[in-house]
Structure 1
Amino acid sequence: MTDAALPTTLDAWLARLEAAHPVGIDLGLDRVAEVARRMGLLARPLARRVITVAGTNGKGSTVAMLEALARAHGLSTAAYTSPHLIRYNERLRLDGQEADDGLLIDGFTAVERARLAGEPVSLTYFEVGTLGALWAMAQRSPDLAILEVGLGGRLDAVNVIDPDVAVVTTVAQDHAAFLGTDLEQIGREKAGILRPGRPAVLGSRDLPASVREVADSLGAPVYALGEDFRWDEGLPDPGLPLDNAATALKALELAGVTLEAEACRRALAEVRLPGRMQWLGQWCLDVGHNPHAAGYLAARLAARPCAGRTVALLGMLGDKDADGVMAALIPAVDAWVTASLAGDRARKAEDLAARLDRLGAEVLHCADSPSAGADWLAGRLAPEDRVLVCGSFFTVAEVLPGRLASASPTAQTEGNDMRSEGVS
């Protein structure tokens, strides 16, 4: 195939990638490693230092804080995350800026050339995206590359690159169809990003024993939250989990950065991550979609009570633990609006409502979509009420643009904290 036959727009490329592989998720490194080798990605370092972040929850916020902290210390950065909320371009940031369409297309083209240079290799949407992002990073050779694992760790496409520092944030049940429900086994999969003799940063006090066992078997030095580092009252609150902030600081230090107190304070004060405890007026948007994340959300809401009602707008995929999420949120939520999501993996609003009814929760409305649910709620909120939009990236992605458009300029800058107008 010649380059002339390839798509010329990002949307066309993404449509092509979605249809290119027989299954959407196909764990394993053999195919990815072969194409990476053909692309020269394994022949030289991707960056001066690489930090890879795995975990069930907290990966995105840890990556965002690593990026902000590194830039505050004068380092050039490249960060790869997934999934995206609004635009695919969010997945690759270079020096804090989203990659433009042209760079992403160049990366996809480089992957396509390599996978056809010899025996053709079939790749998934995520695998092509990962290799394309790694190619784009390699063109820049930044001071620090920060890679977020998509699913698991050991067999994830990101793991084709050897990190200088590996981070495991949390281990909980999610993606059961691929990772199972045994936390020890899930921990071993997450710990698959660790490398012999290279630092392993463990960012939770409650990790299964298997994570440390893997580190010990590799001779990887372990730095564990609560043992080797911790956060205290002097750490600025970024509105994101403080465990993740402390983890990011430790990982950056182990990557060879001499931390400066003022630079750290400035970075943590300014870091923002859309869709993670993001307040826009009365609306809080969070992509949490498993019981562990829901428990964190409930605790944050309970810590800052409001004068009115807390209403949850919930939309979830069918392969997620809806009952566990609801049970974790119920103590902090007064009433619910459920929303149907689109696609084969979707769960209907009526199914969510029936589950809530069995738990004794009040369901106000079943909506055909998250945006329809948000519209229904918008005209029925008292000034002292607040809304939690949660349950899926898809739920937040559909509601966020409308909330951004209607939010006041002040609300649009409030980011990931609880200091929003209408929230007491």
Structure 2
Amino acid sequence: MPDSLGPYSQEPHSLPQWLQHLETLHPVGIDLGLERVSQVAKRMGLFSSPIAACVITVAGTNGKGSTLAIIDSIARAHGQRVGTYTSPHLLRYNERVKIDGQEADDQLLVQGFEQVERARLQQPEISLSYFEAGTLCGLWCLAGAGLDLAVLEVGLGGRLDAVNIIDTDVAIVTTIAQDHANFLGTDLAQIGREKAGIFRAGRPAVLGSQTLPASVAECAQALAAPAFVLGHHFEHQVVTSERAEWRWQGHKADGARNVIDELPDPGLPIDNVATALQALVLTGLALDESKVRKALSTVQLAGRLQWIGPWCLDVGHNPHAAEYIANHLPPPPQGGQQWGLIGMLNDKDVDGVIKALAERISDWVCVTLPDERGCQATALAQRIIAQGGRVHFCAETPQAGVDWLAKVLTPNDRVLATGSFFTVAALLARPLPTGVASLDGDGNEIR
């Protein structure tokens, strides 16, 4: 554990007070770069020793959260003490830091933020963004936990993301697609280079998609980082469709072949499961087939095709994620209707998401998100209508959209709620109704 910097000199804060304080520290919310955060990390002692015996870092446009969750579940099933850092959170900030599957408590996070604050206030004082301060706090919490494995999710960037101050033993890039265009641009080759910035010289790089731009592999080659590529060095195959079983084939660091049969469907993208298995093998973990099967049977990830009664919640907010949702969303029972409840941020590819979902959903409820970047429900409605969809209601909040749907849902209806972490978080924070009323005579549709 890094040396403690001693007690914080100001009055103690609760976790909510700390989070509010962090929002005032930096003039912009997102400020890519490693110089400031590295200086504070050095003051905190985070570079004096590894934060864990082994570190896996996960970057990519989509699939980071599920890949991380699978790594965590399988490693813990093998008796490893695992810590994870992720962002953003859905309901509680504590979700961002987990140790042995348990969310960090308020006291530990407050201690972490005290260490960050004391370090950044040393002269010369250093300004940190909310995300940078939170990342340093999370790393400090993990560094003191005596971990066998730390799994770190990279934020929107890669090369210049605050998480990238930590050297990784195994680096993963899941997928590359357009998202966060204001910061990363729209050139997929350049986005690939930015995500591949987490690679380290001579250390394994796992490429978890067969459609990655060539720039990702080129970055690995330039660093002499051994690349393990989905579809080439590791793969998955359906074995028994009746029981949804599949086989994983991969390679150990020494080139030895590794095969596991009769794996269950975890309800998460199999590409990501295969990627997680390959990364774990490269850490030197000897996989026990029965423990892998058990882990995949129990792994859960909130907000990814998560079903609560007739409601399916998914945080997908770009066309690539929306396409996956459309391909894996089961049809409603006979006689039922598939609804969509959508709320998005203005800086996302709204038209691309709507287009990807249009084949499965034609009836919508649009909601306004409270964030300052939130798209107005009426603006969403106009864009859905322009693509031939029907918007039945525009709500000022996600909760109001749920209340409207509660009055019209029939027992066989299903609702996909999607478009943003904010949308899903709002629905997870309240009970979701099923409803029994009929749609006959509905006069609220926007034409």
TM-score w.r.t. length of structure 1: 0.94
Partners in 2 of 1:46 and 1:188 — Cα distance? 26
2:368 equivalent to 1:340: yes
1:26 aligns to what? 31
Q: CA deviation at 1:232?
A: 2.0
2:130 aligns to what? 125
Q: Residue 218 of structure 1 is aligned with which of 223, 227, 239?
A: 223
Q: What are the equivalent positions in structure 2 for 1:15-414 lying under 5 Å apart?
A: 15-233=20-238, 234=246, 235-301=263-329, 303-304=330-331, 306-307=333-334, 308-403=336-431
Q: CA deviation at 1:5?
A: 2.1
Partners in 2 of 1:47 and 1:231 — Cα distance? 30
Specify every segment of 5 or more residues in structure 2 that has no aligned partner in the other structure, as ranges.
1-5, 239-245, 247-262, 435-447
Offset from partner CA, 1:266-315 (integer Å, 9 cap, x none): 101101111111000100000000000000000001x5553211101000
Q: Which amino acid aligns with 2:397?
A: S
Q: CA deviation at 1:117?
A: 2.3
Partners in 2 of 1:378 and 1:283 — Cα distance? 11
TM-score w.r.t. length of structure 2: 0.89
SS of alignment partner, residue 342 of structure 1: coil
Partners in 2 of 1:206 and 1:305 — Cα distance? 31
Q: CA deviation at 1:114?
A: 1.1
2:260 aligns to what? none
Offset from partner CA, 1:317-373 (integer Å, 9 cap, x none): 000000000000000113110001113211100000001111110111111111110
RMSD of the alignment, in Å?
1.3
Distance verdict in 2 for CA 1:349–1:7, change over 3 Å: farther
Partners in 2 of 1:200 and 1:305 — Cα distance? 40
2:18 equivalent to 1:13: yes
Q: Which amino acid aligns with 2:341?
A: L
SS of alignment partner, residue 231 of structure 2: coil
SS of alignment partner, residue 31 of structure 1: helix
Structure with the higher helix share, 1 or 2:
1
Q: CA deviation at 1:164?
A: 0.1
SS of alignment partner, residue 293 of structure 2: helix
Offset from partner CA, 1:179-212 (integer Å, 9 cap, x none): 0000000000000000000000000010001000
Pick 1 or 2: higher relative contact order, CA cutoff 8 A, min separation 6.
1
Offset from partner CA, 1:85-143 (integer Å, 9 cap, x none): 00000000000000000000000011111112231111011001100110111111300
CA contact (8 A) 1:7 1:13 kept: no
Q: Which amino acid aligns with 2:167?
A: D
Partners in 1 of 2:407 and 2:236 — Cα distance? 42
Q: Which amino acid aligns with 2:315?
A: V
Offset from partner CA, 1:365-405 (integer Å, 9 cap, x none): 1111111101110221111110000000000000112236x
Greater Cα radius of gyration, structure 1 or 2:
2
Q: Which amino acid aligns with 2:287?
A: L
Partners in 2 of 1:65 and 1:121 — Cα distance? 36
Distance verdict in 2 for CA 1:206–1:306, change over 3 Å: farther
Q: Which amino acid aligns with 2:46?
A: L
Partners in 2 of 1:158 and 1:242 — Cα distance? 26
CA contact (8 A) 1:309 1:334 kept: no
CA contact (8 A) 2:172 2:207 kept: yes
Partners in 2 of 1:341 and 1:401 — Cα distance? 14
